[in-house]
Structure 1
Amino acid sequence: MKVIYHIDETEKWDLVLGNAMNMLNYGKENNTTFEIEIVANGIAVTGLFQHEAEEANLYSRMEELDAQKVTFAACNNALKKYTTPNTILCPFAAVVPAGVVELAQKQQEGYSYIKP
């Protein structure tokens, strides 16, 4: 099953990561494979800044999800708006041209859309 999570609020990172982990755990228990992508746009893209993820105690959970092949995508439009000269993106985060386009394309490819 292919699933795309959409996050555009920084306060929802804990919820999104928990949802993705719960889905993977369900998959392990029920012999179901999930292909998961988490797309961050708007202000939530700052959650993929390494220092922000570390300060919020989310980085290790993100790394764990990355190790389980969860894809993290950062909207380039949002990055242009929120990036500062010192910003370092998490190494596991991929940049997509536009978060909304990524969401639409993935849904067209059969991904289920979830927005916690």
Structure 2
Amino acid sequence: MNVNVVFHIDESAKWELMLKNASHLVQVADTPGSDIRIVANAEAVRELVPQSAGSALPAMQELAERGVHFAACNLSLNSFGIRPQELVPFAEVVPAGVLELALRQREGYAYIKP
């Protein structure tokens, strides 16, 4: 099953739930042509710093290895004083999380927010 999905995470407390949802989707929809993305903004960008990710880091790494794309909002990073080089190596920095979400939805991606 070919799917294009963008997960939106903006609350630190929701990372575990969101990662489980993404993992379940990858298990059933990991086919060529599928594109699964996770966009973090607001306080949720902090968990993309390895020292802050805690127990979520292994799940993030596994998803990244399976082709899930992680994006961090640059505006949120700036508001928390986080430099892009502090992020996990598989996270891409996008100018604004809300813009990334809007662009992906315009491209037909399904939007999921836990």
TM-score by length of 1: 0.89
Aligned to 1:95: 93
Deviations 1:88-111 (A, max 9, x none): 211100000000000000000110
Deviations 1:16-56 (A, max 9, x none): 1100000011225xx68631000000001101111111xx2
Aligned-pair RMSD on alpha carbons? 1.7
Give the Cα–Cα distance (whole angstroms) in 1 for the partners of residues 13 and 32 of structure 2. 29
Give the Cα–Cα distance (whole angstroms) in 1 for the partners of residues 82 and 111 of structure 2. 30
Amino acid at match of 1:34: S
Q: Flag structure 2 segments of 5+ consecutive residues without an equivalent.
A: none
Q: Flag structure 1 segments of 5+ consecutive residues without an equivalent.
A: none
For residues 84 and 71 of structure 1, do their structure 2 counterparts lie closer, same or farther at Cα, with a shift above 3 Å needed?
closer
Count residues with an aligned counterpart. 111
Give the Cα–Cα distance (whole angstroms) in 2 for the partners of residues 95 and 84 of structure 1. 11
Give 2:25's match in structure 1, choosing from 23, 26, 34: 23
Deviations 1:49-74 (A, max 9, x none): 11111xx2111111100001100000
Give the Cα–Cα distance (whole angstroms) in 2 for the partners of residues 46 and 88 of structure 1. 10
TM-score by length of 2: 0.90
Identity, % of aligned pairs? 46
Give the Cα–Cα distance (whole angstroms) in 1 for the partners of residues 104 and 55 of structure 2. 29
